[in-house]
A and B are shown apart, each in its own frame.
Chain A
Amino acid sequence: MHVVICIKQVPDTKNVRIDPKTNTLVRQGVESITNPFDLYAIEAALQLKDSTGAKTTVITMGPPQAEEALRQALSLGVDDAVLLSDRSFAGADTWATSRTLAEAVRKLEPVDLIVCGKQAIDGDTAQVGPEMATLLNLPCITYVRKLDLENGNESMRIERATDTGYEVLRVKLPAVLTVIREIGEPRIPGLRHKIRSKKQEIPVWGAADLGLEPEEVGLQGSFTQVVKVFSPPPRGERRLLSGSVEEMAKELVRILKSNNVPGF
C-alpha cells in the first residue's frame, strides 16, 4: 500500500495579532509552519503505516524553504519526500496547484491513497483536495474523522463529519481524503526519524520533471487573479459594560434584545 500526503507550508499565525487601532495584521516575527490540518493528514497516513506497513510519501509545492515542512514530516516517520519547486509555480491558484500536485502523484504511482488536510489556514479554500482528485479521476471524501481499511485494501470505511453529525461511507481505493482534527493528535517526532530527516535526500521536481509547460502552472496557469487586497472593515467601537455583575447582566440582556438576538 502506498499513501501520498500533500502538505503546505503556511505563515504561522501564532504570533499574529490584530492591531486594535488600525485593525491590521501585526506580523512581528511570523515564521513558516506546516499547515496544522496537514499534520492530521500526516498522522492519518502514519496510522496506516503503523497498522499495515504502508509506504508513505509526502509532497509539497512551494519555494525551496518548504523543504523544512517535508523534513518535519520525515521526522514524524514518513518514509519519503518530494519537493515540487520551480520559479514558474509561483502565484498558483487552487486549480494550478491541483494540476501540479496531480502530475506529481501520477509520477509516484502506484498510489492507493492520497491524504490532505481539510484546508490550509492561509487561504482557507479547501479546494485543492477535491480538485486534484478530479484531475486524477479519483473519488474524494472530505472532512474525514475516522478511516479503516477493508476488503483487503480494496476499499475504506470512512466517517465524515457533517454539519449535523457524521456519516459513514465506503469508498473504493484509490481515493483522495481530506482529514480533520478528530483523526488523531499529531504524534511527536521519533529520535531515529528525526536524525534520518536531517540527512535524507529530498528530490526537487520542477515543471519540466512533471511534463508541464510554464503556462500550465503558477500564476500563468491560474484562472483566478487577486485584484485587490485590503483590511477588513473595522468592527464598531468596543463598549465595556460597567457596574456590578447584576447590572452588567441586565444591561447586556437589554442590548441583545434591542439587537433582536434570537433567544433574548
Chain B
Amino acid sequence: MSLLRQHLLTRHSVLPGFGLALGYTLLYLGLIVLIPLSATFFRTATMGWPAFWDAVTTPRVLASLRLTFGASLIAASINAVFGLLVAWVLVRYSFIGKRLVDAFVDLPFALPTAVAGIALTALYAGNGFIGSRLEPYGIKVAFTPLGITVALTFIGLPFVVRTVQPVLEDLEVELEEAAACLGANRLQTFQRVILPAIAPALLTGFTLALARAIGEYGSVVFIAGNMPMISEIAPLLIITKLEQYDYAGATAIAVVMLVISFALLLAINILQWWSSRRTRKAV
C-alpha cells in the first residue's frame, strides 16, 4: 500500500488512506468494467481480421449501423435546436410553472427506457392518440425509422438543455449591452455574441445526446418494428445474433460500436477541455 504512495503521489499529503482508496478503486474498476470490456476485444482478436471484416460488412449489419447513426444524428440535431430553445426560455424568461417544467426536463433520465418505449408506441401507433391524427396524411411513425428517431429524440432531450443552461446563466449582460450600443440588433447579437459563447456547450450536449442515442435499446425496440434491413438498429442485431448463439458475430458488431463510442467520448473530453479553457480566458 505504501508502495502506491511512493510511486504515484506527485505531492506529499498528511492524509491517510491513499493506498487503500486507490487500490480498492482500481480493483473494483478492473473487475466490474475493464476486464469484462476487454473480453470483447480479445474475443474479436481470436477471430482474425478477415472473419471480423466479413462479420461487420454483411448487408444486414451495414444497414443496421447506417440506421443507428442516421437516426441518432437526426435526433441529436433536433435536440440541439429545441434543447437550445428550451434552455433559452428557462434561463431568460419567467412564466408560470417554470420550475416544474425545469424539473421535468430530466424525465428521460429518470423514466426507465422500456416505459418510454411502450408509451411512445401506444401514442404513435396507427390507433394511438397522435398516430391516428397523422395517419390521414399518410405519415406512419410507429414501426418505421421515423419512430426510431422520435424515441431517440425523447431519450436525448435533457443533454443539450443541461449543458447549455449553466453557460447561458453565466453569460454577462454587459456583452450584449456592448453589442446593442455598437448598433447590433437582437438577431445579430445572438448570432455574433451569444452563439459563439455557448457553442462549445451546445456541441458537447449534441455529442452526449448522439452517444446516448447510438447505444440506446430499450425505448427503441418497441416502436421500431425491428424489420431486418429497414428498421433494425445495431444493438438489437447484437441481441438477435446472441440468441442464435453467433457470439463472434455479436461481438464483432459490439467492437465496432465500442470504438465509435470511445471516439465520441474522446471528442466530448476535448470539447470540455476547450470550453473550460475558453471560460478561463474570459475570466
A and B: partners? no
What residues of chain A have their CB less than 8 Å away from a CB belonging to chain B? none
What residues of chain B have their CB less than 8 Å away from a CB belonging to chain A? none
